[in-house]
């Protein structure tokens, strides 16, 4: 297979170039006739990043929905003092943040609004390389529940297509903007290859003000205070994210919690990495 080794070497050089402070060039090698095989090899290079898996028996595996549509998940039932950091949108970016994520080795799940890939693809490539999977947050960030079935499907499928093309893996988890969805959204998501819908149980209003909690405030959906095991925390790519990230990391550690990778708590059938429980059929 002539040509295979040079391709891998080139991709690896691009990936590891980030660590040396340079930005890899993402788009030049992708697409065209050699696209799919290139992407397969790219995925295998990136596959090295592994986050700790939960202790067997320490958590309850989220279940598929009875109607066959992607289940909607807003927290994980677990006995471990873990929380899950998820960061949305991608409209603004902070290169210091990527350095911090790499240095602190913190698992982040990114929900990318794919219009922002244009021009900023390399930033999220660096995030991907720091171990953040790129999941689906639509193309243009609409209120999904107000759209037709056709428009909803286009928002989800086109975003998955763009993310797959750029980052070598098709998103399997979807987060609707504003947490707004209906049954049509779930069907559209399924049609686009989405396995589960991930909402959140708490929000860190990093770089902005939240109702009743002020600037850089933290609010639980259940009205309580502080962290609870299995919280899925919503944040946003905003200016100043590096500092805000240090802030919440400090709170998490002070409370005796640690950030964990939510994808490792979801079974493969729901878009995660955990083995599915054996069926008793
Ligand atoms: Zn959003």
**Tens-place pLDDT, residues 176-200:** 999 999 999 999 999 999 999 999 9
CA of 89 to the centre of ligand 1 (A): 5
10 Å CB burial of residue 1 (0-12, 13-18, 19+) is exposed
Report the C-alpha gap between 265 and 281 in whole angstroms. Answer: 23
Q: What is the pLDDT of residues 258-277, one digit of tens each?
A: 999 999 999 999 999 999 87
CA of 10 to the centre of ligand 1 (A): 34
Q: What are phi and psi of 32, to 5 degrees?
A: 70, -175
**Residues with Cβ within 8 Å of residue 144, at least 6 apart in sequence:** 138, 152, 155, 176, 177, 180, 181, 182, 185
The first and second tokens of residue 114, run together, are 């794919």
Residue 41 has pLDDT above 90, yes or no: no
- The stretch 96-118 carries a mean pLDDT of 93
10 Å CB burial of residue 33 (0-12, 13-18, 19+) is exposed
Report the C-alpha gap between 222 and 201 in whole angstroms. Answer: 7
CA of 134 to the centre of ligand 1 (A): 14
Mean residue pLDDT across the chain: 85
3-state secondary structure of 75: strand
CA of 205 to the centre of ligand 1 (A): 12
The first and second tokens of residue 42, run together, are 């790219």
CA of 141 to the centre of ligand 1 (A): 6
Which of 11-15, 90-94, 258-262 reaches the highest mean pLDDT? 258-262
CA of 137 to the centre of ligand 1 (A): 7
Q: Which pTM value belongs to this model? A: 0.83
CA of 196 to the centre of ligand 1 (A): 17
The first and second tokens of residue 236, run together, are 């946003």
The residue whose two tokens read 């080794």 is 5
pLDDT higher at 39 or 193: 193
Whether 244 and 100 have beta carbons less than 8 Å apart is answered as: no
Whether 89 and 137 have beta carbons less than 8 Å apart is answered as: yes
Residue 4 has pLDDT above 50, yes or no: no
Residue 126 has pLDDT above 60, yes or no: yes
CA of 179 to the centre of ligand 1 (A): 8
| Least confident window among 35-44, 50-59, 78-87 | 35-44
The residue whose two tokens read 């067997």 is 56
Report the C-alpha gap between 274 and 276 in whole angstroms. Answer: 6
Whether 23 and 17 have beta carbons less than 8 Å apart is answered as: yes
CA-nearest of 107, 58, 81 to 226 is 81
CA of 130 to the centre of ligand 1 (A): 21
Quote the DSSP letter at residue 195.
-
Task: Report domain 72-270's class.
Answer: alpha beta
Report the C-alpha gap between 31 and 101 in whole angstroms. Answer: 29
Q: What is the pLDDT of residues 201-241, one digit of tens each?
A: 999 999 999 999 999 999 999 999 999 999 999 999 998 99
CA of 9 to the centre of ligand 1 (A): 36
CA of 172 to the centre of ligand 1 (A): 17
Buried b (16+ CB within 10 A) or exposed e, 68-88: ebbbbbbbbebebebbbbbbb
């Amino acid at each position: 297979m002539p040509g295979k080794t040079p391709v891998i070497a080139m991709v690896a050089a691009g990936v590891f170039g980030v660590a040396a402070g340079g930005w890899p060039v993402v788009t030049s090698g992708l697409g065209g006739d050699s696209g799919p095989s290139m992407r397969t090899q790219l995925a295998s290079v990136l596959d090295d990043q592994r986050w700790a898996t939960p202790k067997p028996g320490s958590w309850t595996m989220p279940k598929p929905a009875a109607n066959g549509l992607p289940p909607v998940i807003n927290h994980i039932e677990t006995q471990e003092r873990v929380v899950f950091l998820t960061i949305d949108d991608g409209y603004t970016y902070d290169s210091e943040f990527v350095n911090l994520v790499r240095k602190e080795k913190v698992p982040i799940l990114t929900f990318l609004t794919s219009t922002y890939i244009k021009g900023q693809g390399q930033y999220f490539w660096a995030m991907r390389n720091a171990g953040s999977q790129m999941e689906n947050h639509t193309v243009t960030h609409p209120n999904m529940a107000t759209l037709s079935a056709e428009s909803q499907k286009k928002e989800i499928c086109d975003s998955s297509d763009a993310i797959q093309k750029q980052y070598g893996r098709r998103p399997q988890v979807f987060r609707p903007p504003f947490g707004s969805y209906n049954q049509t959204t779930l069907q559209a998501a399924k049609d686009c290859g989405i396995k589960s819908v991930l909402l959140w149980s708490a929000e860190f209003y990093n770089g902005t003000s939240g109702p009743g909690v002020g600037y850089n405030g933290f609010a639980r959906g259940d009205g309580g205070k502080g962290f609870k095991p299995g919280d899925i925390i919503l944040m946003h790519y905003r200016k100043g994210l590096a500092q805000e990230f240090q802030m919440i990391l400090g709170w998490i550690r002070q409370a005796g919690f640690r950030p964990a990778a939510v994808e490792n708590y979801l079974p493969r059938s729901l878009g995660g990495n955990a083995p599915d429980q054996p069926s008793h059929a």
